[in-house]
Amino acid sequence: MAFMTGTVMFCWIGVQNTTGLYVWTAFYGFAVGGVQSLFPSVLSSLTTDPQKQGTRMGMVFTVVSFASLTGSPIAGAIIDAMGGKYVGAQAFAGCCMMLGMAFVLSARICKTRKMGAGTFAFIKV
């Protein structure tokens, strides 16, 4: 889901008109909705002790709060530096989502290795 959301964010760069923006917004809504709805269940799957789930969720949301508070000013500074063009901010948003996906994938691989399974045992083919 995070990869799909990052891909949709990069597709934002190609939007040139209002109709395209509406279509892109629909796809982005589905993609980011999936990420948001899966977040608590994925976090709980990485926690072995159910009593610590709330604590870990709070810790994650604390980290996310810094990203939420700094993302908009950074994007605004990028837009200003590019003379009012949004391409840099769009690329920044896509890169941040892909970086987040890499962190989640790394955590999942580490957990799978810790359980004694193969590196990519969580991928069902």
Burial 48-65 (b: 16+ CB within 10 A, else e): eeeeeeeeeeeeeeeeee
Task: For residue 30, give the H/E element and its range.
Answer: helix 18-45
Residue 124 lies in a domain: no
Q: What are the tens digits of pLDDT across the range 8-41?
A: 999 999 999 999 999 999 999 999 888 888 878 7
Q: What are the tens digits of pLDDT across the range 73-89?
A: 999 999 999 999 999 99
C-alpha of 20 from chain center = 22
Report the predicted TM-score, pTM, of the whole model to 2 decimal places: 0.75
Tell me which residue range forms the domain holding 64: 2-114
Residue 68 lies in a domain: yes
Cα-flanking dihedrals φ and ψ of residue 119, to 5°?
-60, -45
Structural domain count of the chain: 1
Residue 29 lies in a domain: yes
